[in-house]
Structure 1
Amino acid sequence: MMIQSDRGQILENQDDIKLYAKEYFSAHWSSKMSQIEDLPPDILPKRITEEMAAELIKPFSEQEIELVVCSLPKNKAPGPDGYPDEFYQKFWNLLKQDICQAMAHFHEKTELPMAWGSTHIALIPKVANPKTFKDYRPILSKLNTKFCQSC
């Protein structure tokens, strides 16, 4: 395989292509977080009650996490971990302690295990003879979106 960089350089070495792919997709698909803490506190009106706020910050219950796992779509491609959603559903009784501990750690420390943040990218050619990464359509698969977006 060979790929042409944005600077016109032809890359044929697999390690060079991997490095450039990481650089290219990080630049094109990353987002910068804005610093809301820097805003004056009175600029945003309060829209939730104290009770609602308390509900939002309470730890996830095992029942909530199980509900998310049970509602994951079936017959979909496996995530980066290689397991389809049905695996988590079928073996929930064996996996629930580890998954619940990971989610509790996330809630307490606001960080997920590093592997949960990894993304796999499959490149589907958009043209007959792709030469640059612009000639490919990236298909992303992220493990953490399975659980975190639903909880």
Structure 2
Amino acid sequence: MDKIKQESVLFFQKLFDVDCTQPIGDSLDFIPRIVTEEDNANLVTAPTMEEVKKAVFSLSSDSAVGVDGFNRVFYKTYWHILADYLFKAVEDFFFGGSLTKAITRTLLCLIPKVKYPATFMDFRPISLCTFASKVFSKILANRMGELLPKIISH
């Protein structure tokens, strides 16, 4: 079993490894600056309770639960109890605070792409993260969604 574990780790490390040692230099100078200081400020501004609630209630009820075992149904049902705690976690995330492993841990799950997988290439890795992590991502995605039409051409 240890041999399988070692091989799987090596396979996926190689698959997702990126060589970032090439210096970019002045090549970015040719890219026009479209994102304004105001745009940047909107991306990193402190979230409001309403923004957190909107993110929670807009996430899918059917999505797989993460390592914490909770999904949107749980958060929606107990919003009146959890709101302040989740809001504090979101604030900590946005202000660079340290987040506990209970929030940041992720379970990697291998989903077979074919009926009888024979190699690791026959699997699609997905990560099952905590619901709080999904909320962080949703808030950022909502904010980026307003900016994307400005920076992506038709």
Secondary structure at the counterpart of residue 109 of structure 1: coil
Match of residue 85 from structure 1 = 72
Unaligned runs of 5+ in 1: 1-12
The reply on whether 1:118 has 2:109 as its aligned counterpart is no
Residue identity in the other structure for 1:106: F
Post-superposition shift, 1:67? 0.7
Conserved 8 A contact 1:106-1:112: yes
TM value normalised by structure 1: 0.67
Larger radius of gyration, structure 1 or 2?
1
* Paired residues for 1:1-151 under 5 Å: 13=1, 15-29=2-16, 42-109=29-96, 112-114=99-101, 115-124=103-112, 126-128=114-116, 130-143=117-130, 146-151=134-139
Residue identity in the other structure for 1:47: I
C-alpha distance 35-74 of structure 1, shift in aligned 2 (>3 A): farther
Q: Distance in 2 between matches of 1:131 and 1:55?
A: 47
Residue identity in the other structure for 1:71: S
Q: Distance in 1 between matches of 2:14 and 2:40?
A: 35
Secondary structure at the counterpart of residue 119 of structure 1: strand
Post-superposition shift, 1:113? 3.6
Post-superposition shift, 1:90? 1.1
Percent identical pairs in the alignment equals: 26
Post-superposition shift, 1:147? 1.5
1:109-143, Cα deviation, whole Å (9 max, x unpaired): 17644442423313326143x33212334343233
Q: Distance in 1 between matches of 2:83 and 2:95?
A: 18
TM value normalised by structure 2: 0.66
| C-alpha RMSD of the superposition | 3.3
Structure with bigger RCO (C-alpha 8 Å, 6+ apart): 2
Post-superposition shift, 1:72? 0.9
Q: Distance in 1 between matches of 2:50 and 2:36?
A: 24
Select the structure that is richer in helix: 2
Q: Distance in 1 between matches of 2:95 and 2:23?
A: 21
Unaligned runs of 5+ in 2: 140-154
Q: Between 47-56 and 72-81, report the one with greater CA deviation.
A: 47-56
